[in-house]
Amino acid sequence: MTKLFTFIFITVITSLASADSACFASEINVLTKKPFSKDDWLQANQQWQDSEPEAPGILEVIGAWHTYKTELSKTKKMKSDKLKHCYMGCVIAKNTSYKAAVYAAWYKEKTDLNDCDKTSFFEVKDYESTVFGSELANSAKSSMDCQSLCQEHF
């Protein structure tokens, strides 16, 4: 029953963030620093969708969202974008699970690719930094440890 609810929840959330085919004109390709062409944007969407990690359970999704909202203000003071991603991955994994943190990282970048917002950017390196932070969670005893461990790398 839990798997059914998780599937339904993820399906609903994913459908809400489905790609609007006009978004490509508003999305900046960080590799070229220019708006995506429609073909490149569709290809990036397909490749990213194909890389979707296994979805966590609904309670982990809720826990990840709660951690994100709770910790977001702390990242505002961090200068490096990759440090912010690393830190968030670490604290989400610490408070929920590695699987939830990896999925949150993937989903965040999927949203960035499809939000029609020129101020947010789809970056694979952001995903990688978040996953790296998720891997550090086992070594961290607290969110302060997450920040220190991530600062060593970013």
Q: What confidence tens digit (pLDDT) does each residue in 135-146 have?
A: 999 999 999 999
Q: Residue 14: what pLDDT?
A: 47
Name the average pLDDT for the chain.
89
More confident residue, 52 or 4: 52
| Whether the predicted pLDDT of 12 surpasses 90 | no
Report pLDDT digits (tens) over 25-77. Answer: 888 899 999 999 999 999 999 999 999 999 999 999 999 999 999 999 999 99
Burial 35-60 (b: 16+ CB within 10 A, else e): bbeeebbeebbeebeeeeeebbbbeb
| Whether the predicted pLDDT of 89 surpasses 60 | yes
- Under a CB-based contact definition with an 8 Å cutoff, are residues 60 and 97 in contact? yes
Query: What does pTM read for this prediction?
Result: 0.84
Q: At which residue do the structure tokens 């989903």 appear?
A: 107
| Whether the predicted pLDDT of 86 surpasses 70 | yes
Distance CA 25, CA 137 (A): 38
Give me the numbers of helices (H) and strands (E) for the chain, helices first please. Answer: 7, 2
CA-based nearest residue to 34, from 121, 128, 125 = 121
Burial class (CB in 10 A: 0-12, 13-18, 19+), 18: exposed
Highest mean pLDDT among 9-13, 88-92, 115-119: 88-92
* Residue boundaries of the structural domains of the chain: 2-17+29-151
Under the banding of pLDDT at 50, 70 and 90, the label for residue 118 is confident
- Under a CB-based contact definition with an 8 Å cutoff, are residues 36 and 24 in contact? yes
